[in-house]
Structure 1
Amino acid sequence: MYYFYILYSERTNRYYIGHTENLLQRLKKHNTDHKGYTGKVNDWEIVYTEVFHSKSEAYARERQVKNWKSRKAIKRLINK
Structure 2
Amino acid sequence: MKSSFVYILTNRYRTVFYTGVTNDLKKRIAEHHSGNGSNFTSKYQIKDLIYFEEFSEIEQAIAREKQIKNWKKEWKLELIKGLNPKIETLDY
Q: Could you say if the C-alpha distance between residues 73 and 14 of structure 1 is closer, same or farther in structure 2, counting changes exceeding 3 Å? A: same
1:4 aligns with 2:6: yes
| Structure 2: gaps (5+ residues) | 83-92
Correspondence list, 1:65-80, <5 A: 65-68=68-71, 70-80=72-82
Judge conservation of contact 1:6–1:15 (CA < 8 Å) in 2: yes
RMSD: 1.8
| Structure 1: gaps (5+ residues) | none
Q: Could you say if the C-alpha distance between residues 12 and 32 of structure 1 is closer, same or farther in structure 2, counting changes exceeding 3 Å? A: farther
Deviation at 1:32, TM superposition (A): 1.9
> Whole-Å Cα distance in 1 between the matches of residues 32 and 21 of structure 2?
12
> Whole-Å Cα distance in 2 between the matches of residues 8 and 23 of structure 1?
15
Q: Could you say if the C-alpha distance between residues 75 and 11 of structure 1 is closer, same or farther in structure 2, counting changes exceeding 3 Å? A: closer
Deviation at 1:11, TM superposition (A): 4.9
TM-score, normalised relative to structure 2: 0.76
User: Structure 1 vs Structure 2: percent identity of aligned residues?
Assistant: 30
1:56 aligns with 2:56: no
Q: Tell me how many residue pairs correspond in the alignment.
A: 79
Structure with greater proportional strand content: 1
Residue matched to 1:20: 22
TM-score, normalised relative to structure 1: 0.86
Letter in 2 for 1:7: L
Residue matched to 1:29: 31
